[in-house]
Amino acid sequence: MADRSNVVGTVAGPGDDPNEFVFVTPSDKSIKTGEFITYTVSVEGEPRSVFARVTNRELIRGLPEGFLADPEVGPETVAATLGVPTDDTELYQLTATVIGYYDTNMTTFANPRQLPDPGTPLSIAPHQQLETVLPNLGCETDSTDITTLDGVAHIGWLLNRPAEATNLHIPIEEFASTHLAILASTGSGKSYTASVLIEEMMRPSSRASLLVFDPHGEYDTLAEMQGEEAFQGEDGYEPEIEYYDPERLRVRISELEIGDVMAILDNPSNRMQERLSTAWQAMQRQESRTWGIDELIGEMERIYGDDDASVGALEWRLRRSIERNDLFHPEENVPLDEIVDPGQCTVLQMDTLDRRDQQLITTVLLRRMYRERLDDVRDRDSDIEHPIFALFEEGHRFAPASGEAPSLGIMRTITSEGRKFGFGLGIISQRPSKIDQDVLSQCGTQISMQIKNPNDQDAIKNSVEAAGEDVLRELPGLTPGQAVVSGDAMNTPALIQVRQRRTPHGAGSRPVIEEWREAYDERQREPTQSESADFGEGDSTGVQSLD
């Protein structure tokens, strides 16, 4: 311990918690909360680097607050007047929580169950070591060049360190199989972060099969990956970005379950519900998978007679809600082999669909894909013979805590069972408290960004057991692009700055003033036109999804 040149502080003694210790640093070694420090202990005769996270920082010696009484008189002036030296006066006491040493057999942290002795010198944890041990990469040494690993996503770097100094690469397999949640208030960088991950997953070293359910058209710029060198493989690989606009989104009527149909219909009476279920089940038992409303009504009339009042009322409702909605079709279906393929990212653009239709297309697609994955794993014929990952913007819309979405059931099934069948979900939401708790708590990896709303903070606390209290405390203060990554993809949570995208970001705020002026000029040019401005289908805007 002769060389103390990289020592930043000295252990003073144990802290309040069994895993905590306090240490003291002078002011020039400015160590921020969230910083990772190390010290050496001997575990079974071998020296081990133990990592600890700084959780609190307090001034224990400094100029008295009384010196700050007059804002126009600097405290150092008052100090000089009294002959108090102002260099090196400040001493800080910091609290740190022991994370553990990296156990190369278990490839994760092990708690040494022993706090450092008072006087133990502490250093800042070296970059490469942190890069190796923070994410759950399963490295066999505690210092590996992780840029040589395959299947990792470079998501950003530690926030407390200079840009790109300590980079965080998370294992794609981990978050893609045990599900991912990206949670943050609006404008904090959820879509941006998701796009960074998509970029990483589409690189030649991973070639993922991705599906993005995009209710706001925020992923239009991903196509620019094509032609970019960073995404090209030596074997000629290049990611395929496929956009599916609402024109091509179709739900074959026979794919709907009776619960879905009930959700579409306006307040059907009990008698109507009973008739519809009976007829629907009868239709489902038929050989043909391509029947429409006509056939369904024919079936009801066959069972209940031509002049049954309830059947008449149902016919009116079914024709209005299903037959006249272009989304539903007796035969057409979204061909699964077109939307999922390795090395392909399909963006389902749902921005012109209303919320109910978004939920229905999602429900039906998820069910079909889940069935195919099940078949594949069970060695039956399958249209999808590889794992898939589906990302949901406005996740609370598809798996709402209120339970009112036909898609909730299949979302719950996939989040709880999908891991076995190679079907991962990514849930993005600005309202974690509005997401079904079962779904949210099954998301093994969490990326939490700025969240101010206390209910949403609680939702994260309750469902994200991996993120400790001390890390969650940071959430309200984060700025766009800053995030806490926790869960299965990490050995311990870390506060990071998400890296810049390689492709441009397509989901910025609208240039409101510019658009007003343009719209006004437009008006001036066409004075006779009196049609009101089209603000889009009300139901598909983000504002309404808030509740």
Ligand X SMILES: Nc1ncnc2c1ncn2[C@@H]1O[C@H](COP(=O)(O)OP(=O)(O)OP(=O)(O)O)[C@@H](O)[C@H]1O
Which residues of the shown chain bind other proteins in the complex (CB under 8 A)? Answer: 64, 66-67, 69-70, 72-73, 77-78, 80-83
Please provide the DSSP assignment of 200-266 as one string.
HHTSTTT--EEEEEETT---GGGGGGTT-GGG--TTS---EEEEE-GGG--EEGGG--HHHHHHHSS
- Token digits of residue 545: 């999804």
Binding segment (CB under 5 A) for Mg ion, from list 63-71, 188-196, 400-408, 474-482 = 188-196
Nearer to ligand X, 95 or 193 (CB): 193
Nearer to Mg ion, 276 or 507 (CB): 507
CA nearest to 171, candidates 197, 210, 143? 197
Nearer to Mg ion, 153 or 507 (CB): 507
Total binding residues toward Mg ion, as defined by CB under 5 A = 2
* CA 488 – CA 469 distance, rounded (Å): 17
Q: How far is the CB of 426 from ligand X (least distance, A)?
A: 13
Using DSSP's 3-state secondary structure scheme, residue 522 falls into helix
Out of other proteins, ligand X, Mg ion, none, what residue 468 binds, judged by CB under 5 to 8 A for its kind, is none
Binding segment (CB under 5 A) for Mg ion, from list 115-123, 202-210, 338-346, 507-515 = 507-515
- CB pairs under 8 A, 24+ apart, for 145-153? 150/205, 150/206, 151/205, 151/206, 152/200, 153/196, 153/197, 153/200, 153/201, 153/206
Q: How far is the CB of 392 from ligand X (least distance, A)?
A: 12
- Token digits of residue 38: 């190390």
Return residues touching ligand X (CB under 6 A).
Answer: 184, 186-192, 430, 480-481, 498, 500, 505, 507-508
* CA 315 – CA 520 distance, rounded (Å): 46
Out of Mg ion, other proteins, ligand X, none, what residue 80 binds, judged by CB under 5 to 8 A for its kind, is other proteins
Please provide the DSSP assignment of 42-81 as one string.
EETTEEEEEEEEEEEEEEEE-S-GGGGSSTTS-HHHHHHH
- Token digits of residue 164: 């790109």
* CA 216 – CA 350 distance, rounded (Å): 7
CA nearest to 414, candidates 431, 432, 398, 434? 398
Q: How far is the CB of 243 from Mg ion (least distance, A)?
A: 17
Out of ligand X, other proteins, Mg ion, none, what residue 487 binds, judged by CB under 5 to 8 A for its kind, is none
Nearer to other proteins, 62 or 217 (CB): 62
Q: How far is the CB of 59 from other proteins (least distance, A)?
A: 18
Nearer to other proteins, 88 or 534 (CB): 88
Q: Most distant CA pair in the chain: distance in Å? A: 103
Binding segment (CB under 5 A) for Mg ion, from list 61-69, 189-197, 375-383, 443-451 = 189-197
Nearer to Mg ion, 50 or 241 (CB): 241
Q: How far is the CB of 396 from other proteins (least distance, A)?
A: 53
- Token digits of residue 231: 């995404």
Nearer to Mg ion, 186 or 462 (CB): 186
Out of Mg ion, other proteins, ligand X, none, what residue 85 binds, judged by CB under 5 to 8 A for its kind, is none
* CA 461 – CA 473 distance, rounded (Å): 10
Nearer to ligand X, 343 or 506 (CB): 506
Of the candidate residues 191, 206, 407, 433, the single one contacting Mg ion (CB under 5 A): 191
- Token digits of residue 413: 């099934």
Out of ligand X, other proteins, Mg ion, none, what residue 77 binds, judged by CB under 5 to 8 A for its kind, is other proteins
- Contact between 411 and 417 under an 8 Å Cβ cutoff? The reply is no
What are the residues binding Mg ion (CB under 5 A)?
A: 191, 507
